[in-house]
Amino acid sequence: MWRFILFRLLQAIPVILAVITVTFFLIRMAPGGPFDGEKAVIPEVRAALEAQYQLDKPLLAQYSTYLGDLLQGDLGPSFKYPGRSVNELIAAGLPVTAELGLYALLVAVVIGGLAGVIAALKPNSAQDYLPMSAAMLGICMPSFLLGPLLLLVFGIYLDWLPVSGWGDIPGDKLLPAITLGSTYAAYVARLSRAGMLEVLHQDYIRTARAKGLPEWQVVTRHALRGGMLPVVAFLGPAFAGLLSGSFVVETIFQIPGLGRFYVQAAFNRDYTMILGTTVFLSTLIVLFNLLSDILAAWLNPRLRAQYASR
Amino acid sequence: MQEIATAEIAREPGGRSLWDDAWQRLRRNRLAVFGLVVLTVFISLALLTPWIAPYGYAEQNLDLGASPPSSQHWLGTDIFGRDLLTQILYGGRISLAVGFIATAVALCIGVLWGAIAGYLGGRVDAVMMRLVDILYALPFMIFIVLLMVVFGRNLLLLFLAIGAVEWLTMARIMRAQVQSLRQQEFVEAAVSLGLSPFSIIRRHVIPNALGPVIVYTTLTIPNVMLLEAFLSFLGLGVQPPQSSWGLLISRGAESMEEYPWLLLFPGLALTLTLFSLNFLGDGLRDALDVRGAGD
């Protein structure tokens, strides 16, 4: 197990390094600098600005400086928000995005998992078709459509929930969480149904039933752990999706999180902000993939044995 | 007796093929047939748009402004008085084109990569698949946003960027197929006949691995279309004056309070297409009896 974790950790390092390098040079290739605003900047001011942000040095020197700063956890200054660093902006946006992502994940796992298990208990009945059709709808209804629709119905027509903001008015976190979580709830429902169906056919379930255990105990104590394995393996990729999904959801509901900062930085050509956020988000995603792999291996004895023998 | 038997063979040369069988099964799946019909209609509409669109693409009627659906404008008009049905038809051309072309890019790279890695095996396979593993771990959504920011938002780049993301799973599926095929006797026979690896891949391996690839392709198209719509919604994908369903949804969302139809109809078009593709993909998976593709 430890060898597996170590092996996967070592594998993650070149990935993260590749992300940093590719992002850094891609951004520098971009046409139009951060100081090409509507107002023309006089050459002296531009030169002073470029000197301040070290844009006048050779590219490789900038790259090595950036790597050095990064090792110390410094993501650099923001071009567009003078006097603020990328670190500060991330520190401001991350808690909001993390909270949103957590709620969305909760929606996905609880609602999706429940729907999947219910469907698997009676395959090919109404109890199966209904949740699975809803899951199909969840997959085909993208968040950027579902969000505005929910807003329109619950925020404007019914006027039950606030239409924007985060933590100002009670209930304003509900719609964003549902919007972001719905697609993943749908995938979780399909995965957990498939997983449960497979597990429920196994011998040990028949043994549990033969012992005379009530059905709910068979499901919760014996089937659930094995049946949820595909869901656990899905959590890593889902996390990456939740982060990029937060770009849209935070834009729709005007939530001051990392996703909205990222999209704004992309529009403003705020080099260091894009670079810093990309590096940060990518590292986070790589680490979460790692975590979900480890969790899946820990839950699945067969997989564990496979790694132990390697 | 002899004659009857010959006649039957003559009528059905080689008996019912795998594909006939699959087609029979697919036809019995109502949802898949529904998907196929909707898709056929939408694709035909997209191809015929310049001739059947009720109004010109750039035609405005500023006096009319935003109007709800009526007999002149079946789906209503936007604030510039442009016919929404026309907009959706033209937008659908782009959305569908992105879906199909980007998937085709992914298909070509993925199938070739997976087939070569799986067939050659050994060290080549290890290197090629390790590269896929590394690329897999990259957060691609973020990279596509980055690419669109850096190189400007042009359509060709969008095809390439999305295609470059989606080929990875295709390569994995293809490799797994080829690996299991490689051990079959008919491939062994072809090797002993002295066929080159390339022609074996082309003649024997690719046709036999087609099932899972078709299923996964069908399920990739909706993902690609979603990705395009996602980018266009953020303003990083298709740019005006060109249009796509994602862009129409984005603009519709801005004014949904006053003019909800501007959000509803493009949304309906996109959702219906995605539904159809997913149903068809699921139907094909059952019909071709493919396990493990997609999901």
* CB nearest to B149's CB, from A190, A194, A274: A274
Residues 142-161 of A with CB under 8 A from B: 142, 144-145, 147-149, 151-152, 156
Under an 8 A CB cutoff, do A282 and B274 touch? no
* Average pLDDT, rounded, for chain B: 80
Continuous segment of H or E residues that includes residue A184: helix A174-200
Under an 8 A CB cutoff, do B151 and A142 touch? no
A27 touches chain B (CB under 8 A): yes
A242 touches chain B (CB under 8 A): no
Under an 8 A CB cutoff, do B226 and A31 touch? no
B40 touches chain A (CB under 8 A): no
A47 touches chain B (CB under 8 A): no
Whether cis (ω within 30° of 0) applies to the bond prior to B212 is no
B258 touches chain A (CB under 8 A): no
Q: State the nearest Cα–Cα gap between B236 and chain A, in angstroms.
A: 9
Angle of the B122-137 helix axis to the A271-299 helix axis, nearest 10:
120
A24 touches chain B (CB under 8 A): no
Identify the residue with better confidence: A75 or B271: B271
Rounded average pLDDT over B216-240 = 84
Q: Compute the distance between CA of residue B262 and CA of residue B83 in angstroms, rounded to an integer.
A: 10
B237 touches chain A (CB under 8 A): no
* CB nearest to A142's CB, from B139, B150, B230: B230
pLDDT at residue number B143? 76
pLDDT at residue number B292? 46
Residue of chain A whose alpha carbon sits nearest to that of B228: A142
Instruction: Please write down the HEC assignment for all residues of chain B.
Output: CHHHHHHHHHHCCCCCCHHHHHHHHHHHCHHHHHHHHHHHHHHHHHHHHHHHCCCCCCCCCCCCCCCCCCCCCCCCECCCCCEHHHHHHHHHHHHHHHHHHHHHHHHHHHHHHHHHHHHHCHHHHHHHHHHHHHHHHCCHHHHHHHHHHHCCCCHHHHHHHHHHHHHHHHHHHHHHHHHHHHCCHHHHHHHHCCCCHHHHHHHHHHHHCHHHHHHHHHHHHHHHHHHHHHHHHHCCCCCCCCCCHHHHHHHHHHCCCCCCHHHHHHHHHHHHHHHHHHHHHHHHHHHCCCCCCCC
* CB nearest to B233's CB, from A144, A194, A281: A144
pLDDT at residue number A37? 56
Q: What is the pLDDT of residues B123-164, one digit of tens each?
A: 888 888 878 877 776 667 777 777 777 776 677 887 777 887
Structure tokens at A10: 């070592």
Residue B2 has pLDDT above 70, yes or no: no
Residue B122 has pLDDT above 50, yes or no: yes
pLDDT at residue number A308? 58
Residue B1 has pLDDT above 50, yes or no: no
B146 touches chain A (CB under 8 A): yes
Number of residues assigned to chain B = 295
Predicted-assembly ipTM surpassing the 0.90 threshold:
no
- How would you class A164 by CB atoms within 10 Å of its CB: exposed for 0-12, middle for 13-18, buried for 19 or more? middle
Under an 8 A CB cutoff, do B139 and A145 touch? no
Rounded average pLDDT over B237-245 = 82
Instruction: Name residue B12's amino acid.
Output: E
Instruction: Compute mean pLDDT per 10 residues along chain A, 310 residues long, and list them.
Output: 77 81 79 60 72 72 82 75 78 88 90 89 83 84 87 82 72 84 89 86 85 83 80 78 83 85 79 81 80 76 61
Only one residue has tokens 């925020």, namely A155
pLDDT at residue number A144? 86
Identify the residue with better confidence: B176 or A4: B176
Residue B232 has pLDDT above 70, yes or no: yes
- Could you tell me the pLDDT band of residue B9, with boundaries at 50, 70 and 90? very low
Under an 8 A CB cutoff, do B222 and A148 touch? no
pLDDT at residue number B210? 80
Only one residue has tokens 């459509």, namely A145
Q: State which of A100-104, A266-270, B19-23, B63-67 shows the largest mean pLDDT.
A: A100-104
What is the Cβ-side half-sphere exposure of residue A307, based on CA atoms within 13 angstroms?
Answer: 18
What is the Cβ-side half-sphere exposure of residue B185, based on CA atoms within 13 angstroms?
Answer: 0
pLDDT at residue number A242? 84
- Could you tell me the pLDDT band of residue B295, with boundaries at 50, 70 and 90? very low
pLDDT at residue number B40? 92
- Could you tell me the pLDDT band of residue B273, with boundaries at 50, 70 and 90? very high
Instruction: Name residue A305's amino acid.
Output: A
pLDDT at residue number A307? 57
Structure tokens at A133: 């059709």
3-state helix, strand, coil in chain A (%, to 5): 75, 0, 25
Instruction: Name residue A61's amino acid.
Output: A
pLDDT at residue number A45? 74
Contact A140, A183 (CB under 8 A): no
Residues 59-88 of A with CB under 8 A from B: none
Phi, psi of A32 (to 5 degrees): 80, 120
